[in-house]
Structure 1
Amino acid sequence: MHLWRPPRAAALRPFVDSVEYVEDTPATLQERMVPGGGISLVVMLREAGFTRADVGGPQWVDGACLTGAQQHAQVVSTAPQRGMVAVNFAPGGAAPFVPFPLHAATGGYPSLGEVWGREGELVRERMAGLTPDRMLDLAEEILLSHAVGELTRDRALDLALRSLDAGAPVGVVVERFGTTAKPFIRRFRAATGLTPKTYARLRRLQRVLHSLPPDGRVDWSRIAADQGYHDQSHLIHDFKAITGLTPSQYRPRSVDAPNHLPC
Structure 2
Amino acid sequence: MGNDRLIAAATAVTRPPAPCLRPYLRLLWAWAPEGGAARRPGAREHVLPTGGMHLVFRLSGPPLRLFGSAADARGQTFGHAIVGGARSAFYLRDVSVATRSVGAQLQPGAARMLLGAPEGALAGAHTPLEALWGRSAADAALAQLHAAADPEAQLALFERLLARRLATSLNAGLHGLHPAVAASLDAVDRGDANIGTLVARSGYSHRRFIALFRGDTGLAPKEYARVRRFDRALSLAGEARRHDWAEIALAAGYSDQAHLSREFSALAGMGPQAWRERGAPSPRHVPAAGQIRSRR
Superposition TM-score tier, normalisation by shorter sequence: 0.7 to 0.9
2:285 maps to 1:260: yes
User: Given that residues 177 and 216 in structure 2 are in contact (C-alpha distance below 8 angstroms), is that contact kept between their aligned partners in structure 1?
Assistant: no
Query: Aligned residue for 1:145?
Result: 164
Q: 178, 181, 184: which is aligned to 2:209? A: 184
The residue number in structure 1 matching 2:53 is: 39
1:79-100 deviations in Å (ceiling 9; x for gaps): 6852001011123333311222
Residue equivalent to 1:218: 244
Query: Equivalent residue for 2:65?
Result: 51
Identity of aligned residues (%): 28
Matched, 1:6 2:16: yes
Letter in 2 for 1:30: R
State the partner residue of 2:145. Answer: 127
Deviation at 1:104, TM superposition (A): 1.9
CA distance in 1, matches of 2:221, 2:178: 15
8 Å Cα contact 2:178/2:216 also seen in 1: no
For residues 77 and 219 of structure 1, the distance between their equivalents in structure 2, rounded to whole angstroms, comes to 29
**Equivalent position amino acid for 2:117 in 1:** F
Would you say how many aligned residue pairs link Structure 1 and Structure 2? 259
Give 1:67-82 correspondences, 5 Å limit.
67-78=84-95, 82=99
> Which residues in structure 2 correspond to 1:82-161 (within 5 Å)?
82-117=99-134, 118-131=136-149, 132-147=151-166, 148-149=169-170, 150=173, 154-161=178-185
TM-score (ref. length: structure 1)? 0.87
| Alignment CA distance shift 1:215-1:18 (3 Å) | closer
Secondary structure in 1 matching 2:51: coil
The reply on whether 1:163 has 2:177 as its aligned counterpart is: no
Question: Which stretches in structure 1 are left out of the alignment for 5+ residues?
Answer: none
Inter-CA distance 24–184: structure 2 relative to 1 (3 Å threshold): same
Distance change (3 Å), C-alpha of 1:199 and 1:215: closer
- Of 241-250 and 91-100, the range deviating more from structure 2: 91-100
Gaps of 5+ in 2: 1-10, 289-296
Inter-partner Cα distance in structure 2 for 1:202 and 1:170: 15
Which SS does the other structure have where 1:146 is aligned?
helix
Conserved 8 A contact 2:112-2:119: yes
Partner residue in 2 for 1:63? 80
The aligned amino acid for 2:67 is A
State the SS of the aligned residue for 1:253. coil
CA RMSD of aligned residues (A): 2.4
Counterpart residue type for residue 233 of structure 2: V
Moved more, 234-243 or 94-103: 94-103
Cα deviations by residue, 1:91-123 (Å, 9 ceiling, x for unpaired) = 333331122222222121111100111212322
State the partner residue of 2:33.
24
1:224/1:133 CA distance change after superposition, 3 Å: closer
- Contact kept? 1:95, 1:190, Cα under 8 Å: no
Looking at structure 1, the residues matched to 24 and 97 of structure 2 have their Cα atoms a distance apart, in angstroms, of 23
Residues 235-246 of structure 1: pairs in structure 2 closer than 5 A = 235-246=260-271
Contact 2:109 2:118 (8 Å CA) reproduced: no
Q: 149-158 or 100-109: which moved more?
A: 149-158
